[in-house]
């Protein structure tokens, strides 16, 4: 991708506007923050997320098999957002949205690239400036890997990623201190494999347990006067699907749902390669079941750790003094439509769990709600800014989720935008829109359109884009997409029509510059995969 001088200038102007806006809002908010701190009205913030967690794999969302009693508790004592999405459903762009509260075009990441080293507004830095003690545990997936973005402290589990000769994750250092003669990845399943296998070591050595234990220890020993912002980021259920044996056994005889496969997905029947980390291929019902057995086991293992974290909060008497949010960066196809991994517009990849439990006294709202308004990862930072009485939300793309709980729904967005630049293959390159009821997908390489009625067809089995009875619906969504993309210029919309984009454009002009900026898929795979 060529970066033009005009793009750089535009980026600087936008960054300056954001910085100036943030400074004005900060000045206007200092008195409010000081008053809130003195009154002790600001809650702690506990942000828990998992990597590659499908939105339907929560018992409270109606899954027939999955066992997630602790996540169900958060939903039942709070709210479950049933139409929550990751706008750019792969690891790094999703984390950019979480960090900035911005959509893909404004945070600059249109696909799987590198999270920028610094943004004008960043979640941990803004909360730190507002008087919170900020700490992170688990997977961040940033570059540089120990770039703090405002966290006072971090304990990292970065899987196998090593981006500099002096980096070793805190989890790996801990593993080596506990088991110096064992290999941490001895289970033998790769980071993007479809295989599943029980973890071969004692489960206390598993990264999921380490993450939960580290969070519990943080809560047990926290004695500072300021409220905390704690981010707990699990590396699973992202492959390898390697839970302890007891969690594999939990689903051994379970009636695990078969893969949802639409007729339109026949193109994905052939294997994309002979390796185990394929992105498409019909592997048969038995392999799908085995993969999902390990995936579901990983989900339930995470849920158990969430339960331990909630218990630690309760023992300190902080449950009703803490805002709790659980979500994920994106989902996992696990064989649906013969697709594997992520980066697709389809529900298994783009829809994520999102639930929130608020402390007593924060707002007056019914607990146990199930809300269908379209929400996205960009909405989490504005939510935290509101409860922290911190500045900056007015400059962001996201909105505070608390406004929905207060019934302020008239001005909420009608639909959410989704997109992903080229990933795995030039054919996987798309833009989409959804309101949780319909979903429109535009494939940028060849202009193919897809339309799904999610109310009648939640598994996206029937593509109705070519159905004569739905042409007016198709036109409505196409026009919405034209309106959404028009601001980006003729590369995206030309003469009022959606333009084909056979080439990759990984970053928008709003992306802050980094020391390394990969320009194409080959460079990304060499550095990150």
Sketch out the chain's domains with CATH numbers. Answer: 17-412 (3.40.720.10)
What is the spatial distance between Cα 430 and Cα 343, in angstroms, rounded to a whole number?
10
What is the spatial distance between Cα 412 and Cα 434, in angstroms, rounded to a whole number?
14
Enter the tokens of residue 53: 């967690």
Rounded to a whole number, what is the distance in angstroms from the first to the last CA of the chain? Answer: 20
Active site residues: 91, 141
What is the spatial distance between Cα 78 and Cα 358, in angstroms, rounded to a whole number?
6
Is residue 104 a contact partner of residue 123, using CB atoms and an 8 Å limit? no
Q: Is the peptide bond before 144 cis (omega within 30 degrees of 0)?
A: yes
What is the spatial distance between Cα 52 and Cα 239, in angstroms, rounded to a whole number?
8
Query: What single string gives the DSSP state of each residue in 85-130?
Result: E-SS-SHHHHHHHHHHS--HHHH-BSSS----S--SS-HHHHHHHT
Q: What is the longest distance spanned by two Cα atoms in the chain?
A: 65
Quote the pTM value.
0.90
Enter the tokens of residue 226: 């300021």
**CA-wise closest residue to 233 among 140, 313, 308:** 140
3-class state of residue 292 by DSSP: helix
Is residue 326 a contact partner of residue 75, using CB atoms and an 8 Å limit? no
φ, ψ (nearest 5 deg) of residue 204: -70, -15
**CA-wise closest residue to 387 among 42, 57, 143:** 42
Predicted confidence pLDDT, tens digits, the chain (529 residues): 333 333 333 344 444 444 544 444 444 444 444 434 433 579 999 999 999 999 999 999 999 999 999 999 999 999 999 999 999 999 999 999 999 999 999 999 999 999 999 999 999 999 999 999 999 999 999 989 898 999 999 999 998 888 888 889 999 999 999 999 999 999 999 999 999 999 999 999 999 999 999 999 999 999 999 999 999 999 999 999 999 999 999 999 999 999 999 999 999 999 999 999 999 999 999 999 999 999 999 999 999 999 999 999 999 999 999 999 999 999 999 999 999 999 999 999 999 999 999 999 999 999 999 999 999 999 999 999 999 999 899 999 999 999 999 999 999 999 999 999 999 999 999 999 999 999 999 999 999 999 999 999 999 999 999 999 999 999 999 999 999 999 999 999 999 999 999 999 999 999 997 544 444 445 544 443 3
What is the spatial distance between Cα 146 and Cα 168, in angstroms, rounded to a whole number?
10
pLDDT of amino acid 145? 86
What is the spatial distance between Cα 421 and Cα 115, in angstroms, rounded to a whole number?
15
pLDDT of amino acid 36? 43
pLDDT of amino acid 40? 52
């Amino acid at each position: 991708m060529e970066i033009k001088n005009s793009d750089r200038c535009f980026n600087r102007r936008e960054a300056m506007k954001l910085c100036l806006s943030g400074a004005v809002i900060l000045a206007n908010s200092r008195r409010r923050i000081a008053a809130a701190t003195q009154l002790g009205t600001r809650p702690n913030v506990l942000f828990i997320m998992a990597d590659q967690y499908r939105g339907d794999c929560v018992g409270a969302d109606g899954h027939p098999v999955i066992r997630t009693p602790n996540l169900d508790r958060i939903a039942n004592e709070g709210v479950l957002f049933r139409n929550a999405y990751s706008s750019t459903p792969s690891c790094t762009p999703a984390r950019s949205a979480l960090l900035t509260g911005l959509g893909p075009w404004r945070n600059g990441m249109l696909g799987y690239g590198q999270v920028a080293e610094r943004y004008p507004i960043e979640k941990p830095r803004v909360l730190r400036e507002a008087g919170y003690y900020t700490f992170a545990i688990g997977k961040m997936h940033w570059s540089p890997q120990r770039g703090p973005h405002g966290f006072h402290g971090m304990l990292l589990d970065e899987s196998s990623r090593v981006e500099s000769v002096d980096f070793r994750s805190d989890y790996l250092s801990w593993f080596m201190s506990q088991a110096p003669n064992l290999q941490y990845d001895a289970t033998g399943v790769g980071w993007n494999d479809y295989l599943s296998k029980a973890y071969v070591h004692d489960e206390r050595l598993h990264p999921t347990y380490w993450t939960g234990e580290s969070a519990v220890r943080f809560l047990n020993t926290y004695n500072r006067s300021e409220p905390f912002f704690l981010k707990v980021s699990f590396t699973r259920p992202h492959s390898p699907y390697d839970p302890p044996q007891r969690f594999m056994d939990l689903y051994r005889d379970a009636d695990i749902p078969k893969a949802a496969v639409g007729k339109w997905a026949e193109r994905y029947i052939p294997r994309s390669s002979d390796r185990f980390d394929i992105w498409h291929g019909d592997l048969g019902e038995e392999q799908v079941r085995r993969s999902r057995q390990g995936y579901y086991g990983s989900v339930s293992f995470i849920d158990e750790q969430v339960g331990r974290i909630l218990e630690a909060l309760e023992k300190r008497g902080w449950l009703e003094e803490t805002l709790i949010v659980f979500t994920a960066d994106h989902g996992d196809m696990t064989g649906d439509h013969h697709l594997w991994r992520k980066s697709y517009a389809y529900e298994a990849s783009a829809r994520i769990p999102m639930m929130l439990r608020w402390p007593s006294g924060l707002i007056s709202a019914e607990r146990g709600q199930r809300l269908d308004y379209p929400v996205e990862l960009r909405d989490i930072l504005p939510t935290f800014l509101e409860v922290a009485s911190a500045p900056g939300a007015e400059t962001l793309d996201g909105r505070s989720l608390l406004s929905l709980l207060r019934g302020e729904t008239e001005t909420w967005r009608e639909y959410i935008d989704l997109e992903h630049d080229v990933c795995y293959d030039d054919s996987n390159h798309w833009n989409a829109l959804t309101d949780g009821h319909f979903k429109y997908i535009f494939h940028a390489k060849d202009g193919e359109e897809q339309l799904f009625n999610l109310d009648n067809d939640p598994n996206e089995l029937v593509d109705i884009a070519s159905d004569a009875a739905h042409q007016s619906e198709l036109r409505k969504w196409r026009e919405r997409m034209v309106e959404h993309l028009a601001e980006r210029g003729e590369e995206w919309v030309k003469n009022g029509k959606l333009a084909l984009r056979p080439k990759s454009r990984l970053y928008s002009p709003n992306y802050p510059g980094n020391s390394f900026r990969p320009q194409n898929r080959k460079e990304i795979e060499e550095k990150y995969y």
